[in-house]
Amino acid sequence: MLHSRLAGINLRGVVAAVPANSEDTDALAASLGRDMADKIAAATGIRTRHLAPPGVTACDLGQAAARELLDGLGWTPESVDLLVVVTQTPDHPLPGNAPLLQHRLGLRNHCGTLDINSGCSGFVDGLWTAASLLAGSNGQRALLIVGDTTSQFVAEGDRNTRPLFGDAVAAIALEGGAGDDIFIGVIPGVDGSGAPYLNVLDGAARKRLPGQARFGSIFMDGPQVFAFTLRQVPKNIAAALALVGWSADEVDHLILHQANESMIRHLANKSGFTPQQMVLALAGFGNTSSASIPLAMASALAEPLTAASRPVQLLMSGFGVGWRWASAVWRSEALQYCRKIEVATPDDPQPGSAP
């Protein structure tokens, strides 16, 4: 089983950005009916989702989050050695969002940049990548930007997906140079046979849409997603704990991909965690893909993560489209900055918004 344990990497800060525009259960009731809207909210725990209006992209939200994070930490753009961007909804087929954000944020030309296409496991995938690159280079500071505007894939009348998905992008700051008592351990997993059950098949090279008028629509087989999650995630979490010799009760906060409240509760219980350790933060945001874990941190854990008097011990697990899953255990000093922001309008998209 492939795994990594990387010492000396601290989590310095998290900022999650959501669009100010939102849709709640009452708005859903107007189109889906009151009974259906209430049943969906009760089953999923989702009551409000923030939705990017036309013209607001993952780059725009990522730029807003990253600027807030750099300002909050007192980091200059020139001090960032590495930028890793994880999204399934880039602004353009090419170039990727990483060089666009490097330019818009004013990062150095010698900054390392990398684009990753990953969904529900994308936050852990990005952490693993950024931490590994810091550990294997002379770089000290990394900026990880993760998230999607998934609502662009949702058909207006699709009652299976419209009530679930929201938009968000988060920026995460990592810094090397700490001692061996600060570490991150990661165990990934993949099973591509699950690709038919959660996907957007139209709009790329395999099957283009006529005139490319819009993106293809997202498809999700909910029972298959739930079955896959229960089959793979608990043992992946157990393997991550074993990698660093922790028991479940040594974890301060369990932060799972925020897809569905009943799924989160079931996974936490099956993996041996208490309700007090489990983080639930999807009621006001919905499923925000790779941004859901850092959004949960910024919206529900900002105070305990920044006020901690000792290193915090976190277990984070992302899982979904692919099938892909990945769990990370992280022992880090207290965060220096952590908050959620709302973005009313995109930042001025003049430099780097288009190739």
**Looking at the predicted structure, is the pLDDT value of residue 354 above 70?**
no
- Closest by Cα among 163, 155, 166 to 214: 155
Better-predicted residue by pLDDT, 330 or 153: 330
338 is catalytic: no
257 is catalytic: yes
**Looking at the predicted structure, is the pLDDT value of residue 210 above 80?**
no
**Looking at the predicted structure, is the pLDDT value of residue 47 above 80?**
yes
Provide the pairing of β-strand 10-19 with 198-199: unpaired
Q: Is the dihedral of CA 69, 10, 100, 199 positive or negative?
A: negative
260 is catalytic: no
Residue 350, pLDDT score: 43
Q: For 290-300, what is the mean pLDDT?
A: 99
Residue 26, pLDDT score: 94
The residue annotated as part of the active site, out of 10, 50, 111, 120, is 120
Greatest alpha-carbon pair distance for the chain in Å reads 57
**Looking at the predicted structure, is the pLDDT value of residue 352 above 70?**
no
* Among the four given CATH numbers 3.40.50.620, 3.40.47.10, 1.10.3720.10, 3.30.1360.120, the one describing domain 4-339: 3.40.47.10
- Closest by Cα among 231, 265, 255, 233 to 43: 265
Q: Kindly report the pTM of this predicted structure.
A: 0.93
**Looking at the predicted structure, is the pLDDT value of residue 349 above 70?**
no
Q: Buried b vs exposed e over 173-186: b needs ≥16 C-beta within 10 Å?
A: bbbbebeeebbbbb
Average pLDDT taken over every residue of the chain: 92
The residue annotated as part of the active site, out of 97, 199, 236, 287, is 287
The whole-angstrom separation of Cα 117 and Cα 301 is 27
The residue annotated as part of the active site, out of 199, 236, 257, 338, is 257
Percent of the chain scoring above 90 in pLDDT: 79
Task: Give tens-digit pLDDT for 187-202.
Answer: 999 988 887 877 776 6
Task: Give tens-digit pLDDT for 227-267.
Answer: 999 999 999 999 999 999 999 999 999 999 999 999 999 99
The whole-angstrom separation of Cα 328 and Cα 47 is 28
